[in-house]
Every structure is written in structure tokens, then in C-alpha cells.
């Protein structure tokens, strides 16, 4: 990886870490953009969206170095899309790139004509007091993306604890145990 990509990845990681410590109140564009922008400014970064025929791009750029840039692509169907769908695409990009996973927030992007998949109540995960480790957040994103219920059992099945360092494994196990309370 080039020096510029390494530096940008480090800055993105710092923003993700600070956002994980925050309680995200809404997943609406008008809430997420200013929240994320404030965190990016602390890392001397800015971001914007670009749209091509079938691809949305979240561009992250270091303000001090014009060649330090990350471009994250999100492909969608090339059919004409409404303003609401553009907002939903922006939300998806922001939540995936910045690792924002709050089930209650995700539900406000679905409309009546496009209902969210329902999670059985007996398998619903209670709110935890601990912030989920990055590995758990990644699994939750994967489950949500594939419309699989986000349950402790499904998270454990995808987590692969045996391939983690002891410290990562300890944090993941502590978080999973906190889900039982």
C-alpha cells in the first residue's frame, strides 16, 4: 500500500474509533453528514459524494495533501433513482465506511414500500452497555447486508474467534457475554 493510502487509512481508522464511542441518534443524512464531518475535520480530512451511472463514490481527502485520497465505491442498479434512494445510498455508504451499526437507526431508512426485514422478537439482541469491538461490528454489518437476523448465535457463527489474537478474542467474548444480560 502506498504511503498516502496508509496515512488515509490511519485517519479513517481514527474517525471510526471516535464514532464508535458516540451514541448515534439517527441514520438520516442530515444528522450523519455533520456528525461525521466534525470527526473528519479533526483528522484534517474532508469528504464528498460522486455519482456515476451505476456507482456512488464516497471520496475522502486529506486537506493538506491533495494526492492523499481514498475513494470508496458502492454499486447499485442503473435504473433512474429517486432523491430518497440517493439519500439511502449515501446513508449506506456512510454507515459502512464509518462502521456505524445501530439497528434502531438503520430502520429509519426503510420506507413503507420497501420494508426492512423483521427480526424475531425472541432472538432480538438487547442494547449493550459496551461498545462492540470492530470485529463484532464487521459481522453485524455483514449480517444486516445479507438480511440475516442479528442474533448472538449468528454473530458467533461468523466471528471466527479461533483466528483472532488473544486480546481481540477477549474483547469479543466480553461483548458477547454482555449481550446475555
H/E run at residue 16: helix 3-20
CA dist., res. 27 & res. 92, Å (int): 9
| Host domain of residue 177 | 117-181
At 26-38, the pLDDT tens digits run 888 999 999 999 9
Q: Note whether 111 and 157 are same-domain residues.
A: no
Q: Note whether 4 and 84 are same-domain residues.
A: yes
Residue 122 pLDDT: 38
At 104-153, the pLDDT tens digits run 344 344 433 344 444 444 344 444 445 778 888 888 888 888 888 888 88
pTM, two decimals, is 0.55
Q: Which of helix, strand or coil describes residue 25?
A: coil
CA dist., res. 89 & res. 122, Å (int): 30
Q: Which of 100, 115, 130 is the last residue of a domain?
A: 115
Q: DSSP letter at 36?
A: H
Q: Note whether 108 and 178 are same-domain residues.
A: no
**Residue % of the chain over a pLDDT of 70:** 82
At 70-86, the pLDDT tens digits run 999 998 876 677 888 89
φ/ψ of residue 144, rounded to 5:
-65, -40
Distance of alpha carbon 169 from the chain centroid: 21
Amino acid at each position: 500500500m502506498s504511503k498516502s493510502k496508509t496515512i488515509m487509512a490511519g485517519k479513517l481508522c481514527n474517525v471510526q474509533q471516535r464514532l464508535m464511542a458516540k451514541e448515534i441518534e439517527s441514520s438520516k443524512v442530515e444528522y450523519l453528514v455533520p456528525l461525521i464531518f466534525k470527526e473528519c475535520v479533526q483528522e484534517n480530512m474532508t469528504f464528498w459524494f460522486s455519482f456515476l451511472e451505476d456507482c456512488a463514490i464516497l471520496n475522502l481527502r486529506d486537506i493538506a495533501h491533495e494526492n492523499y485520497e481514498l475513494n470508496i465505491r458502492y454499486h447499485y442498479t442503473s435504473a433512474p433513482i429517486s432523491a430518497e434512494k440517493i439519500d439511502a445510498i449515501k446513508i449506506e455508504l456512510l454507515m459502512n465506511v464509518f462502521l456505524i451499526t445501530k439497528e434502531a437507526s438503520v430502520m429509519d431508512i426503510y420506507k413503507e414500500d420497501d420494508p426492512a426485514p423483521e427480526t424475531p422478537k425472541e432472538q432480538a439482541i438487547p442494547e449493550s452497555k459496551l461498545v462492540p469491538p470492530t470485529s463484532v461490528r464487521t459481522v453485524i454489518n455483514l449480517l444486516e447486508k445479507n438480511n440475516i437476523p442479528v442474533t448472538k448465535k449468528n454473530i458467533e457463527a461468523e466471528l471466527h474467534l479461533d483466528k483472532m489474537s488473544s486480546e481481540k478474542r477477549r474483547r469479543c467474548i466480553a461483548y458477547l457475554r454482555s449481550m446475555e444480560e
